[in-house]
Amino acid sequence: MEPRTRATPLTRQLESLYRRLLDAYGPQGWWPTPSRAGARGFTERGYHPGEYGGPRAPRERFEIIVGAILTQNTAWTNVEKALTRLREAGIFRPADVLAVPTSRLAGLIRASGYFNQKARKLKGVAALFSADRALAPRAAPTRDELLAQWGVGPETADSILLYAFRVPVFVVDAYTRRLIERVGLDVPTDHYDEIQQAFHGSLSPRHELYNEFHALIVAHAKVHCRAKPVCEGCPVSRCRYRDSHRGNGPRDSARA
């Protein structure tokens, strides 16, 4: 299933990319949970860069799971508003989500958009993680268990595995594809699993590395590699894309 990790040209490209991003933006310490405010190690970003200790506390873990649902195609600032509403309503655990009527749940998460769909999704994951599963510490669910949930696709499943349970799976999102295209990495960008395999086959399977790499890609996408690119001061040297993007590397047609 897992290809051997070996040094390929792609390995060097990805490691170089990672180092450039880390140098430019610093450790991100994901997952960013608003409830971290006030906790030891709290930073102005609201989370703990550099902490990759033991298993997550159950409530923090569930907050990550909820956030992974709410952030689907949605700006994180709006997710924070919804998470804060949930916390103020005393909703911390799967059982709390199950106890609230779907209509009220939808109202609480209104700011995160798609609230009717997402309320249903939260009910589903709450059921998955409730009952015997709530007994911490619990081993991570399988990827297939997560994917079987309505509203949980590949990215959400992998985000939960990586950030809630520290399983070394690389999370692929729209930013990842955009960066691959603009930097000109020799990685196909059409299928989720293909992209993920490329990373898994080229990087050592360390959850700390996958955690930081994905978080750094998001940070980079918000500052420089936006939909409308801001190339001034871009830390990725081969980032020679133009407004029209596509292509851009030294050689564009080199994919065979």
Partner DNA sequence: CCCCAGGGAATTC
Partner DNA sequence: GAATTCCATGGG
Contact status, residue 92 vs residue 108, Cβ threshold 8 Å = no
Q: Does residue number 81 form part of the binding site for DNA (CB under 7 A)? A: yes
Q: How far is the CB of 204 from DNA (least distance, A)?
A: 22
Between 75 and 95, whose beta carbon lies closer to DNA?
75
Q: Kindly identify the residues of this chain, within the stretch 119-148, that bind DNA according to CB under 7 A.
A: none
Q: Does residue number 63 form part of the binding site for DNA (CB under 7 A)? A: no
**Pick from 11, 13, 35, 74: which binds DNA (CB under 7 A)?**
74
Runs of H (alpha helix) within 184-248: 192-202, 207-223
Contact status, residue 16 vs residue 9, Cβ threshold 8 Å = no
**Pick from 48, 65, 67, 141: which binds DNA (CB under 7 A)?**
67
Beta-carbon neighbour count of residue 150 at 10 Å? 10
Q: Does residue number 65 form part of the binding site for DNA (CB under 7 A)? A: no
Calpha distance 188→136 (Å, rounded): 39
Classify the phi-psi angles of 215: left when phi > 0, otherwise alpha if psi is within -120 to 50, otherwise beta. alpha
Q: Does residue number 35 form part of the binding site for DNA (CB under 7 A)? A: no
Q: Does residue number 249 form part of the binding site for DNA (CB under 7 A)? A: no
Residues 6+ apart with CB under 8 A from 90: 96
Sketch the per residue contact string, 84 through 113, with DNA: x for CB under 7 A, - otherwise: --------------------------xx-x
**Burial annotation 231-253 (CB, 10 A radius, 16+ → b, else e):** eeebbbebbebeeeeeebbeeee
Between 30 and 129, whose beta carbon lies closer to DNA?
30
**Pick from 88, 144, 190, 243: which binds DNA (CB under 7 A)?**
190
**What are the residues binding DNA (CB under 7 A)?**
30-32, 67-68, 71-78, 81, 110-111, 113-118, 149-157, 159, 163, 173-175, 190-191, 218, 221-222, 226-228
